Amino acid sequence: MASWVGMRATATPSQIDAVARAIRSTPIIDHHAHPIFKSEAFNKKPLLAITTEANGDAIESATTSLPHLRAVRQLASVLGCGYTWESVVAAIEEKRLDCPEDWTADCLFGIETILVDDGLDTEDSANAYSWHDDYTRSKCKRIVRIEKVAADIIRQIGSACKESTGTGDVYDDAFDEWTQEFEAQIVTALEDPNVAGFKSVICYRTGLDITNETNEIQEERAREDFKEIIANYALLNFEKLQTKSLNDLIVHRTAQLIQLSPAGQKKPIQFHTGLGDNDLALPSSSPSFLQNFIRMYPTIPIVLLHAGYPFTREAGYLASVYENVYADIGEVFPCVSQDGQERILREILELCPWSKILWSTDGHWFPETYLLAIIQMREVFETVLSGYVRNGHIGWRAAVDLVRDVLFKNANKLYHLELEFSELEEESALAQGAYQSDAELLRAFLKDQPVPDFVRICWNDFTASQRMRMIPFRKFASLLNEGKSTDIGITAAVFGLLQNDSMVPGASPTGEYRLHPDFSSLKRGPIEGHISLHGEFRQQSGARVPLCPRSILQRAVEFGAENNLSFLIGFEIEFLLLERGEKKPHNYSSLTTDGHAWSVSRYFASPKVATLLRDMVAALADMGIYVEQLHAESATGQFELVLPPYPPVQAADTLLHARDVMSALATAAGFRMTLHPKPFTNACGTASHMHMSVSSSPGGDSSGGDKPELYRPLYAGILKHLRAILAFAYASPASYERVADGTWSGGRWVAWGTQNRETPLRKVDGAHWELKCLDGLANPYLAVAAVLFAGVKGVVDREVLVWGDCEIDPARLTANDRKELGVSQMLPESVEEGLAALREDGELCEMMGAELVERYVALKEFELGFLGKMGEDERRQWLMERY
């Protein structure tokens, strides 16, 4: 375990880690939840309900809430799908179809037992409480909802009475029958070992301000109200018990019957407090309204559910001053934002002993509600409790006890469950796809490694300049340990800057984005003592920034996933090693050579170059990037290094990181490494060819290789939009210096061919094709995104591959040959022409985003004006300094 965790003397790294392990390994007694729907009933409620109490038309607004956005990220991480709600829904539906039992087991992993309030839905819709036994370590028990018991009896009596003409005496008898049957069912539940407790939702009906009148006065008012309900039952559409006198009466009767139970065996009664849907009696939902009731029944265990949110401090106060009161902090996970959850946990701990606190999922309808609650609870508990330990507010052993008590022991004792405490196996939790927080990812990454000096958070801008912010590691670690954001504020002008920081007209120096590090992109390097992450730009709200290239590529991947397509991308890094001038180190010249040529072996006899190339491969391997091939290319000092295939975003991240590593090593060895597409007029150009394979399944099993009906429309879509794609792929005037016929550069025609290196799109084998019209001056996120958007749109539209398989250099085709093969368009011959093609391609502009295209075109035109003022040699040297 790396020693970065915990920088204060109050706790050692191993002690902080012990608290984190306890949070992950303590089994959960979920003392308040509801049944999961039967599979045929899933469509009765919208999946959007997993993070909100809204319903009806109001639920659609949930997509712009922080709890929803957080849930999307977490579910996407677990499901391995795109980071959009649509992708998550599609992935969940696939789980339901594929193996719903396994998915439910994944969602409920870590739960010891569930105490199920089965009064929320009908037996036709929801599974029985015992059905959940298959997914918990111990058998589940019931929580009896007393309002449902009372309402069911009223329906039975009302149905019987409306068949006959009633009198006052009949209605009196009906009231007595109702109360007697209600009490009988409560007594039966008290004696039933499968019933763990009771629940009242009077908060929803008439509010928590329960009367404290004497039994006689209560009963007199209740009798009259009951007689009115039964007398008019034939005219009523009775669904819920919404009469205050009757609701108050059944709560008191239940309490009185519990009170008669033997001491030490009294079953708790839970009260819904605070947070709920619009059926709630909000003005009287604060748990403070229960104070008089609590005083009336000092020996009855009373549980205040849902943290009383937003009246959390009231719940904590009542639990702290009354021996018989307990505070639950469920449902706020996942219905409240992360900041809110952390505040709620801190508020409940302000004065409430943790021996009086319980935790529950409030899981209902969908198994994903259980999953999200558990993921978020562990994340928030770790943030808050690790902070308390680190700051000396609580000892680490006490923190471990707190976790075990809140999650297991308190409920075990309160509900008389008599379960044996046995920790979960952490490895099993990870095997079940458990969500890992950023802190956990970083700890795992640094295990058995030296503590780094700096953390780099990187991005690639519209000029393909790799930029970064660097944070001392101890500062970065302390932010994570204290549960603070590691996002960095970056000017909103970030995508309006040239390589020399000149700002494009129309961009503004005002405003700020948040650069959010993606911890899944963690890599060592590019130099010793550094670790690197790639970041995505977000608005202050957490929403994506439409101009962020990495987010655009993520959107393109999600577009593919929505259409059941996944991709693997592999890049070739062509690079040139140059000598630095002795007097002018920024004047570069080609290496001295005895005869450099494509794939020759003699050049590797040069000790200095051979050592550098060996070090490049070794350094990348140490970072988990395993080079597949390395060989000399045609120009003097030119080489090609082939990276392995990855999913698209990871492939672009890896490409940029590998280039940084290689460039740093070249500089340390006294060379300059350049990606300039045409560094010397009479030498071979330098590209960054992209290999792509497509699969028709999210697992990426390359099944598209045997499905021409899949990959042919995909590549037809790419060819259809290829002229516009070049605005992103050939992004500099230097790019077009490389483009020529007969030079294996991909040629100048919109065409494809099997193993034809003179076409911009080369078919390698089945679904594996190579895009040759891409170089190192392109932003790889934007270029790959444009290719994926175009290809997936081709599949969606069932685009026909009207281009024939070109077997020779398209430049050598006759006019009739071109007509027969559908080769009718030439690639743009300049940046200006490429930008014009992009503007004219409405479909690609819409997919990439109108705002992005507008800013990108404006910046590229501004860049052209800047570069156009330079002479040819000056521009070449200037670009080689930067790429």
CATH code assigned at 737: 3.30.590.10
pTM: 0.63
Residue 435 has pLDDT above 60, yes or no: no
718 and 814 inside one domain: yes
pLDDT of 538 above 80: yes
Residues 722 and 787: beta-carbon distance below 8 Å: no
**Closest-CA residue to 716 (of 800, 823, 797, 826):** 800
Summarize pLDDT for 292-338 with one digit per residue, the tens: 999 999 999 999 999 999 999 999 999 999 999 999 999 999 999 99
Alpha-carbon distances of 489 from 476, 504, 866, rounded to whole Å: 14, 20, 28
Question: Are residues 462 and 407 both part of a single domain?
Answer: no
Domain identity same for 268 and 253? yes
Give dist(CA 454, CA 474) in Å, integer: 8
Dihedral pair phi/psi, residue 270, rounded to 5°: -95, 145
Structure-block tokens of residue 594: 């005895």
Judgement on whether residues 753 and 648 belong to the same structural domain of the protein: yes
Residue carrying structure tokens 């209600």: 182
The 3 state secondary structure assigned to 146-192 is HHHHHHHHHHHHHHHHCCCCCCHHHHHHHHHHHHHHHHHHHHHHHHC
Count Cα neighbours of 392 within 13 Å in the Cβ-side half-sphere.
Answer: 4
pLDDT in tens, 626-663: 888 888 877 788 888 999 888 899 999 999 999 999 99
Between these two residues, 409 and 826, which has the higher pLDDT value?
409
User: Is residue 112 in some structural domain?
Assistant: yes
Residue 303 lies in a domain: yes
Q: Are residues 295 and 198 in the same domain?
A: yes
pLDDT band at 436 (very low <50, low <70, confident <90, very high): low
Domain-located, residue 816: yes
CA atoms of 421 and 112, how far apart (whole Å): 9
Provide the percentage of residues in the chain whose pLDDT is more than 90: 47
Predicted local distance difference test score (pLDDT) of residue 11 = 65
Query: Does residue 591 lie in a domain region?
Result: yes
Within 10 angstroms of residue 708's Cβ, the number of other Cβ atoms is 12
Residues 125 and 88 in one domain: yes
User: 537: domain range?
Assistant: 439-551
pLDDT value of residue 2 = 35
pLDDT at 15: 79
Residue 665 burial (10 A CB sphere; 0-12, 13-18, 19+): buried
Query: Where is the domain boundary, 800, 823, 838?
Result: 838
Q: Sign of the CA dihedral 675, 607, 667, 643?
A: positive
pLDDT digits (tens, 9 = 90+) for 748-807: 888 888 888 888 888 888 888 888 888 899 999 999 999 999 999 999 999 998 888 888
Quick one: CA torsion of 343, 346, 348, 353, rounded to 10 degrees? Answer: 170
Integer CA distances (angstroms), 333 to 106, 374, 405, in order: 18, 8, 18
Instruction: State whether 605 and 691 are in the same domain.
Output: yes
Q: Retrieve residue 727's tokens.
A: 């605005």
Phi-psi group of 306: left, alpha or beta (phi > 0 → left; psi -120 to 50 → alpha; rest → beta): left
Q: pLDDT (tens digit, 9 = 90+) per residue, 272-286?
A: 999 888 888 788 999
Residue 579, Cβ density class (10 Å: 0-12 exposed, 13-18 middle, ≥19 buried): middle
> Which residues lie across from 749 on neighbouring strands?
826
Check if the beta carbon of residue 186 is closer than 8 Å to that of residue 146: yes
Summary mean pLDDT of the chain: 87
Residues 695 and 594 in one domain: yes
User: How do residues 180-203 score in pLDDT, each as one tens digit?
Assistant: 999 999 999 999 999 999 999 999
Q: Assess if residue 780 is contained within a domain.
A: yes
Q: Is the peptide bond before 334 cis (omega within 30 degrees of 0)?
A: yes
* 75 and 206 within one domain: yes
Q: What is the CATH number of the domain that holds 505?
A: 3.10.20.70
In residues, how long is the chain?
883
Nearest to 530 by CA among 456, 623, 476, 615: 456
Per residue in 359-385, pLDDT tens?
999 999 999 999 999 999 999 999 899
Flag whether pLDDT at 717 surpasses 90.
yes
pLDDT band at 164; cut points 50, 70, 90 = low
* pLDDT for residue 696 is more than 80: no
Mean pLDDT comparison of 170-174, 232-236, 388-392, 714-718, highest-scoring range:
714-718
pLDDT tens readout for residues 490-512: 888 889 888 888 888 878 788 88
pLDDT reported for residue 586? 61
CA gap 652, 377 in Å, rounded: 33
Report d(CA 387, CA 5) in Å as an integer: 11
**Does a structural domain hold residue 797?**
yes
pLDDT mean over 682-702: 71
Same-domain pairing of 564 and 543: no
Would 498 be classed as within a structural domain? yes
Tell me the two tokens of residue 23: 């949070």
Of 383, 417, 438, the domain-final residue: 438
Domain boundary among 438, 467, 491: 438
User: What are the tokens at 832?
Assistant: 């200006």
- Closest Cα to residue 781, out of 520, 543, 500, 557? 557
Per-residue pLDDT at 877 exceeds 90:
no
Answer yes or no: do 258 and 307 share one domain.
yes
Judging by beta carbons within 10 Å of its beta carbon (0-12, 13-18, 19+), is residue 511 exposed, middle or buried?
A: exposed
Residue 3 is predicted with a pLDDT of 35
Task: List pLDDT tens digits, range 96-149.
Answer: 888 889 999 999 999 999 999 998 888 889 999 999 999 999 999 999 999 999
Instruction: Pinpoint the alpha helices (H) of 432-547.
Output: 438-446, 473-481
Question: What gap in Å lies between CA 284 and CA 720, rounded to an integer?
Answer: 63
Same domain, 793 and 707: yes
Percentage of the residues of the chain whose pLDDT score is greater than 70: 92
* pLDDT (0 to 100) of residue 603: 63
Give the pLDDT mean for 142-167: 84
Q: What is the amino acid identity at position 109?
A: F
Number of domains in the chain: 3
On the question of pLDDT at 433 being above 50, the answer is no
What pLDDT is attached to residue 168?
A: 54
Residue 599: per-residue pLDDT: 66
Three-state DSSP class for residue 444: helix
Work out the angle at residue 151's Cα, subtended by the Cα atoms of residues 149 and 155, and round it to the nearest 5 degrees: 120
**Spatial CB neighbours of 479, under 8 Å, sequence gap ≥ 6:** 485, 486
Within a domain: 374 = yes
Per residue in 579-617, pLDDT tens?
876 655 567 777 766 666 776 776 666 778 888 989 999
* pLDDT at 8 > cutoff 50: no
CATH number at residue 211: 3.20.20.140
